[in-house]
Chains A and B, each alone.
Chain A
């Protein structure tokens, strides 16, 4: 769930817009380069953006008795690195702001910062960290666990940033920023935990299916480094 149209003071809205712009411009360059230099990846690139489209359209009930939606940015961050997701996430946010009155144009900068920048980078960091810890074990487990960690962190961190953004703009009258952070965190981050687990699982599912259908792509993207994991899986069939 993004910050609704008009619900950030204009100074905050402008500041988040300025903070986000360089990432999106850099991402647009990275995207153009990717499409030009590696046209064989374009289909998978489109599907990564489409995955974010699907997941951010699904409002799912959560344990807090409210609904929110996943972000779907973890998959693209793992496959194509975070800069490209800055663009694909922005496209998703623009679609929702223009057609669905969900999120908004004035809050676009803030929402891009949380969903298209911090989410993908935090998720990518979690993915790389998990791989560096587990890769020596071999087999398919390290990749699945790392992809889960990446998608989970990308999803959850997005909404933690949203909570911080709102707490900065609307501190609690009595307890100030910490009180407001607890309040908005309870609304966004707590609600998001089961959804982030779901997103992690769905992203693992997509990567598992990709490993069966297009292992060459995953090797080319550096997600799979050797042929061994799939051979082991085929043996166990």
Chain B
């Protein structure tokens, strides 16, 4: 057995492994033979110019699209030896549970199972809160499954058995804890649609966290935020990684956010991975600079600013 301790976390202990992912829409290849890992307990950023295929990757991971080719493995606990994954892939099942943990092949799973069993949560570029429900209710919906099990599939709930009552109180406590964390406790009973934009973003992340995810996928969480709100978002993501141990995969255009919080950055361009490494490695990678400078005029300033900051530092 070779010593792997000097390898980065995403190679030693990945929570998510994407292998040879390809997604075609008719003749258009949105993602082409993409492979990368998300390290357990790390913040991984997926960046790239507009139209690079980042959101397509998210849609494949969260079951919105069925990939044309490729395998997406989600690991809970220590499970995930190569043999086990190969056996599961051959077996045609969606998941395998062992003493070490559990394995899930996300490309075989759809809608609620992704969240319920594989414990992957996501947010969207455009906010998708339940606008007509209160802030608190939004967080309670996310705890639906735990409550359903506790209520013995409604029967215990009807008779209000002690077990269900305890679960309900725990759910309420958790929701309130998250409201406090995102500074929205005073708006608990307001409709979610009435909150300001930045608050809605944070609430959406809190709601995703209420599903107890092992992996949290955030699609442009900083889009449309002002600098102060961006800073609050950074704090929230740091808190999530520190206190909850949840691994985070995010798409982001705001390089300030990306460079500050990411442990690991994967760069896509035209559906192909062009760079993969730490923030330091990626921003010195000539192909990344070329992709940004050569393709998108609007990104020029950003890359220059990043490079300049690098020189000064």
A and B part of one assembly: no
* A interface residue numbers (CB < 8 A to B): none
